[in-house]
Amino acid sequence: MSHAEPKRDPGDVDTAPGHEGRDGHEAAAGIGSYLIGLGLATLLTIVSFFIARTTLVWQPSIPVALAVLAIAQMGVHLVFFLHITTGPDNVNNVMALAFGVLIVFLVIAGSLWIMAHMNHNMMPMDQIMQMQR
C-alpha cells in the first residue's frame, strides 16, 4: 500500500485513518481553496487600508466599516485556511468556535461597558487631587 514511495517514510505503515490528500486531485483542490482564501483576504485587506485613510465617506462610518471588513476577513480565514465549515463533520469545531466567540464578546464588550460607566460616575481627577491635599 504505502510502499509506493519508500524513500521518505519507512515508519509509515499505519497510513489510513483521516489521511487525506494523497493523490494529486485532492491536493489540487486544497490549493484551490487556499488560493480563493488568499484572494479574498487580500481584497478585504486592501479595502480596509483604503477605507482607513479615505475622505470620500462620512467619517464616523469608517470604524464601523473597518469592523465589518475585519469580521468578514476572519470568516474567510476560518473557512478557507482553517477549514471550519458548516458540514456535519464539523459540528464540534463550530460549537467550540461559537463558545469562544461568546466569551470573547463578553470579555471585550463587558469590559468596555463597565469601564465607560465607571469613568462616567467617577469624580473628575482634579477634584480628587484637591480632596487629597
Partner 1 sequence: MSGLPATAGHGDPDRVGYNGESRARRHMAERAGGLVPKRIIVGYGFWIFLLSDIVMFSAFFATYAVLVGQTAGGPSGRELFDLRSTAIETACLLLSSFACGLASIGAQAHRGSWFYGAMAATFILGAAFIGLEVREFAGLVARGAGPTRSAFLSAFFTLVGCHGLHVSAGLLWLLTMMAQVFAKGYRADILRRILCFGLFWHALDIIWVALFTMVYLMGAAT
Q: Which is nearer to partner 1, 119 or 132 (CB)?
A: 119
Query: Would you say 15 or 127 has its CB closer to partner 1?
Result: 15
Residue 79: count of CB within 10 angstroms of its CB:
16
Q: Which is nearer to partner 1, 95 or 127 (CB)?
A: 95
49 contacts 39 by C-beta, under 8 angstroms: no
CA distance 9 to 133: 76
Is the separation of the CB atoms in 80 and 40 below 8 Å? yes
Closest contact distance (angstroms) between CB of 127 and partner 1 is 18
CB of 92 or CB of 132, closer to partner 1: 92
Measure the N-to-C terminal CA separation of the chain; round to a whole number of Å.
84
For residue 3, the minimal CB distance to partner 1 (Å) is 12
Nearest distance, CB of residue 132 and partner 1, angstroms = 19
Cβ nearer to partner 1, comparing 89 with 131? 89
Contact residues toward partner 1 (CB under 8 A) are 5, 8-12, 14-22, 24, 27, 30-31, 34, 37-38, 41-42, 45, 48-49, 51-53, 59, 62-63, 66-67, 69-70, 73-74, 77-78, 81-82, 87-89, 91-93, 96-97, 99-100, 103-104, 107-108, 110-112, 115
- Rounded Cα distance between 60 and 123, Å, is 29
**CB neighbour list of residue 114: distance below 8 Å, 6 or more residues apart:** none
Task: Report helix, strand or coil for 15.
Answer: coil
